[in-house]
Amino acid sequence: MITQVFEGIEKRGREYNIPFFLLYPFRYPKFALLGCSIILAYALFRDQTILGLGAFLSSLGYLGSFILGLFYAYGFTSAPATSLLLISSSSQNILLTSILAGLGAMLADLTIFSFIRSSFDDELKKMSKEPLALFCKKKISKKVRKPLLMGIGALFLASPLPDEIGVTFLAATTKISQGQFTIVVFLLNTFGIFTILTLL
């Protein structure tokens, strides 16, 4: 229903010659709504509320590290989760903290991956037919394209950058199975968290 409403708005906008970039969100309503939900969540969590919750989680020891890993995966809570993991690791084994937080982040990413694969498949296919996507397909060979997508996705997953973007890049690599994805995101998140906790 929502998709049909957005498509109707986009069609009417083209009739009135509204600039394409203003209509772009209506072309991909699911991704637009996902983006809006992330912005809304950031606005809600940017105050001190998340810090109070985080202080409680960091007091839970290794269990708190696992839960903080869940928050680490989402763009709007990644920064505070990283800070709290740094605080927690000062009194815990860094490697074990990284593994547990990596497991938490893996679970969160797996949820995002399954959601995008099941609900965003139609829009991912539509995106693959956009002029920019077709240009990239023409200029970049298939052998390079898949590793490039996975590389960009890995960069987001291994860093405190929003995992939602990294997961979308990996989901666009349609041949990656859920089992492969699970292993990849666990290793990337654990490596990224371990690197941060070791260097900072």
Least confident of 64-68, 80-84, 118-122, 162-166: 118-122
CB 31 within 8 A of CB 124: no
CA distances from 86 to 20, 90, 138, 191 (A): 44, 7, 44, 15
Distance of CA 30 to the CA centre of its chain: 15
Q: Is the pLDDT of residue 35 over 90?
A: no
Name the percent of the chain lying above pLDDT 90. 16
pLDDT higher than threshold 90 for residue 98: yes
What's the confidence (pLDDT) of residue 116? Answer: 78
Angle at 178 between CA 84 and CA 183, to 5 degrees: 50
Angle at CA 106, nearest 5°, toward 105 and 112? Answer: 90
Residue type, 82: T
- pLDDT number for residue 99: 95
Least confident interval from 88-102, 105-119, 181-195: 105-119
Q: Which distant-in-sequence residues (6+ apart) come within 8 Å of 119 by Cβ? A: 30
Mean pLDDT of 118-144: 71
Q: Where are the domains of the chain?
A: 1-46, 48-199
In this prediction, residue 114 has a pLDDT band, given cuts at 50, 70 and 90, of: confident
Q: Rounded CA gap, 108 and 173, in Å? A: 19
